[in-house]
Amino acid sequence: MRNTQIITTWLQPNTWFKPELALLQSGQLQINVRVADGFLTRLRGLLWAKPLQPAEGLLLSPCNNIHTIGMTYAIDLIFLSADMQVLHIVPDCKPYRFANCKQARHTLELLAGQAGALNIHEGMQLIIEHQKLEAKK
């Protein structure tokens, strides 16, 4: 398991516009990740959202093509296969750029520099564990 990172995902009750919350764990580091797997959440992406912080990210699924038009800061792009293997990393992708990976099924967006800080590298296998959250009454 030396090349494996764990992503533990807590799925919130489904919403049509707000991405679901997740938690990415990498050793002692934890990243709060939003999962955008609907048309509108993927379309919106990080646009009109608060800028990512060092402990935050966005997982777009399905997604193999990214643009940063309208972004005001750089991000790291991690392209993932259907089984969550890291296929390609685009570090420090500046605003108004395009990036893609034809083989990718998912894309993880992190604040620029976080892929290196988390020691994420090509060939690494990510594991997702889903844990349903109870709706608050």
Q: What is the pTM of this model?
A: 0.78
pLDDT in tens, 32-85: 778 888 887 777 777 777 888 887 888 888 999 999 998 999 999 999 999 888
Task: Count CA within 13 A, CB hemisphere, residue 4.
Answer: 8
Q: What is the DSSP string of 100-118?
A: E-TT-SEEEEEETTHHHHT
Q: What is the DSSP string of 76-103?
A: EEEEE-TT-BEEEEEEEE-TT-EEE-TT
Q: What percent of the chain has pLDDT over 70?
A: 69
> Where do the structural domains in the chain lie, given as residue ranges?
4-132
Nearest in space to 53 (alpha carbons), one of 115, 111, 6, 113: 111
Give residue 132's pLDDT band: very low, low, confident or very high (50, 70, 90): very low
Fold that domain 4-132 belongs to in CATH: Jelly Rolls (2.60.120)
The two tokens of residue 104 are 């990718």
CB atoms near residue 24 (< 10 Å): 25
Residue with tokens 């919106």: 44
d(CA 68, CA 45) in angstroms, rounded, equals 10
